[in-house]
A and B are shown apart, each in its own frame.
Chain A
Amino acid sequence: MQQFLAQWMPIDVSAHGYQIDRIIGMVHWLMAVLFVGWALYFIYVLYRFRAGKNPKASYQGAKSHFSSYVEVGVAALEAVLLIGFAIPAWSSWVTTPAADERPFEVRVVGEQYAWNVHYPGPDGVFGRAEAALVDTATNPLGIDRSDPYAQDDVTTINQLHVPVDREVIVYLSSKDVIHGFFLPQLRVKQDAIPGMRIPVHFRATQTTPEESRFPACSAEKNCWEIACAQLCGLGHFRMRGFYTVHSQAEFEAWMNEQVASLPSYQTRLAGLMAGSSSDSSPSALPDSPTLSSDGETPAGGTQ
């Protein structure tokens, strides 16, 4: 069944995706068995008890209690699916990885109609961001560049880059209305709700093939995209972004390049960059001051 459905589903390149696909497969088994079973019975009954052939109905009707077994069976299978698979899968889906798994953290902020991505940069700490500083053209995230933590922060629009084989936490929020952050191949979907900061996490198991990378990919078939799942206005249909899964080395190279092109960074933090060659994007300290103040501000919009 899973293979059968997989014909239409996007490939799965995430560590947790098999749980989702497995549940989808199992439920569809249950559905298929029920449907086909009842449908066969249904057709048979319609044929056998048509008025032409069976002019006199039976007052009693069916006497068997087979149907009760079916009902109990359905209930039992649903219970198994629920307790055995769905609840544990959900629990792992919402449990953000602990700091010792060195999750890579990134903020994604939806806006009508684009995905803003905010990387903490080599220091691993998100700089301060504030609604009042937002400037659509130059500073869509409202990052306060005077904050020391913000100096090395990298931002992109509609481009999400993540390392492979590493837990990634995306802190989702939105500037204006509710959007739906959807990465089909990673089996990730989560509403981006203004005023809230919702973490989603995943671990990509494959790097994006060259032909599926923006801008090399052809729109026809081969892009790995960020789709918007939630109606967010007239541009909802074109709120399309791209994501790329890199190998660790490739990712670092990409990040360094981005950091290097930051104007503030070139002047002030050149020294720090020198020491960040091998494995220097340290995981964010969860208790770092900026981050927790982030969490406390209800002004979720643009932090």
Chain B
Amino acid sequence: MEIPYNVEERPDTGLYNGKLGIWLFLASEVMLFGGLFSSYILLRTGDPNWFKPELSVPMATLNTMVLISSSVTMVMAWASLRLQDFKKFRLFSAATFLLACAFMVIKGFEYNTEFSHHLYPSSNNFMATYFTMTGLHGLHVLGGMVVIAYLWGPGSRMWKTEPERFTNRVEITGLYWHFVDLVWIFLFPALYLL
């Protein structure tokens, strides 16, 4: 027996399984990052000696732009599939992947500068929060990259056999990807600007 509503939507909920699943997952991610944000706020309000070293705002701004762009290319990739344009999908998802790479490289440079200024997680609680939050966010980016690469490469064979299902997969990956972007949108002012 097939598992129902894997591809098609269940009439009373209007959802296919994967979409509900990913939103539930994202809900739990909200709580994960919520725990970190909560800690950040508490530590910061609770510590009269809170110290925040200068971080590179230009690099982070650039990275924000990169991540936002990758979100657009991701959503465009999905739209292309819905328009039955597989070539464009490939193009856009390759762009997404490359932008994600760019994000990670820039992040790497940033970390490097910080290390060279002798700023480590152990330096103070700001740096600890900074490295933990951006590190965890980076891991999420990395996870997303793996999936995007898979869907660009071997996973895309499914387009021939089950196009609708493949489109769903891309949609789900997109939802996740935008969430990662969304987290960054909050991390950026919280860690760099305030």
CA distance A296 to B47 in the complex (A): 11
CA distance A298 to B51 in the complex (A): 14
Question: Chain B 47-91, CB within 8 Å of chain A: the 1/0 string?
Answer: 111000000000000000000000000000000000000000000
Q: Which residues of chain A have C-beta atoms less than 8 A from B48's C-beta?
A: 296, 298
**Interface size range of chain A in the complex:** under 10
CA distance A118 to B92 in the complex (A): 70
CA distance A298 to B49 in the complex (A): 8
Q: Which residues of chain A have C-beta atoms less than 8 A from B47's C-beta?
A: 298
Q: Which residues of chain B have C-beta atoms less than 8 A from A298's C-beta?
A: 47-49
CA distance A231 to B85 in the complex (A): 64
CA distance A296 to B48 in the complex (A): 9
User: From residue 259 to 303 of chain A, which have CB atoms closer than 8 A to chain B?
Assistant: 296, 298
**B48 nearest in chain A by CB position:** A298
**B47 nearest in chain A by CB position:** A298
Q: Which residues of chain B have C-beta atoms less than 8 A from A296's C-beta?
A: 48
Interface of B is mostly: loop
Q: Which residues of chain A have C-beta atoms less than 8 A from B49's C-beta?
A: 298
User: From residue 2 to 56 of chain A, which have CB atoms closer than 8 A to chain B?
Assistant: none
Question: Chain A 240-265, CB within 8 Å of chain B: the 1/0 string?
Answer: 00000000000000000000000000
CB A112 to nearest CB in B, in angstroms, measures 24
CA distance A39 to B129 in the complex (A): 53
User: From residue 78 to 133 of chain B, which have CB atoms closer than 8 A to chain A?
Assistant: none
User: From residue 29 to 55 of chain B, which have CB atoms closer than 8 A to chain A?
Assistant: 47-49
**B46 nearest in chain A by CB position:** A298
CB B77 to nearest CB in A, in angstroms, measures 50
**B49 nearest in chain A by CB position:** A298
CA distance A167 to B110 in the complex (A): 57
CB A292 to nearest CB in B, in angstroms, measures 13
**A195 nearest in chain B by CB position:** B46
**A299 nearest in chain B by CB position:** B49
CA distance A298 to B47 in the complex (A): 8
CB B38 to nearest CB in A, in angstroms, measures 18
CB B52 to nearest CB in A, in angstroms, measures 17
User: From residue 11 to 45 of chain B, which have CB atoms closer than 8 A to chain A?
Assistant: none
CA distance A83 to B177 in the complex (A): 49
CB A298 to nearest CB in B, in angstroms, measures 6
CB B123 to nearest CB in A, in angstroms, measures 17
CB B48 to nearest CB in A, in angstroms, measures 6
CB A97 to nearest CB in B, in angstroms, measures 27
CA distance A49 to B49 in the complex (A): 69
CA distance A199 to B33 in the complex (A): 34
CA distance A298 to B50 in the complex (A): 11
CB B65 to nearest CB in A, in angstroms, measures 39
CB A196 to nearest CB in B, in angstroms, measures 10
CA distance A226 to B8 in the complex (A): 67
CB A193 to nearest CB in B, in angstroms, measures 12
CA distance A298 to B48 in the complex (A): 8
CA distance A140 to B192 in the complex (A): 42
CA distance A62 to B76 in the complex (A): 61
CB B106 to nearest CB in A, in angstroms, measures 35
CB A212 to nearest CB in B, in angstroms, measures 41
CA distance A233 to B15 in the complex (A): 52
CB A52 to nearest CB in B, in angstroms, measures 43
CA distance A296 to B49 in the complex (A): 11
CB A18 to nearest CB in B, in angstroms, measures 36
CB B128 to nearest CB in A, in angstroms, measures 16
CB A253 to nearest CB in B, in angstroms, measures 42
CB B44 to nearest CB in A, in angstroms, measures 13
CB A114 to nearest CB in B, in angstroms, measures 28
CB B172 to nearest CB in A, in angstroms, measures 44
CA distance A113 to B47 in the complex (A): 28
**A296 nearest in chain B by CB position:** B48
CA distance A298 to B125 in the complex (A): 14
Question: Chain A 207-249, CB within 8 Å of chain B: the 1/0 string?
Answer: 0000000000000000000000000000000000000000000
Interface pairs A-B: 3 shortest CB-CB: A298-B48, A298-B49, A298-B47
Identify 4 residue pairs between A and B in the complex whose beta-carbon atoms are under 8 Å apart, listed by A's number: A296-B48, A298-B47, A298-B48, A298-B49
A contacts, CB < 8 Å to B: 296, 298
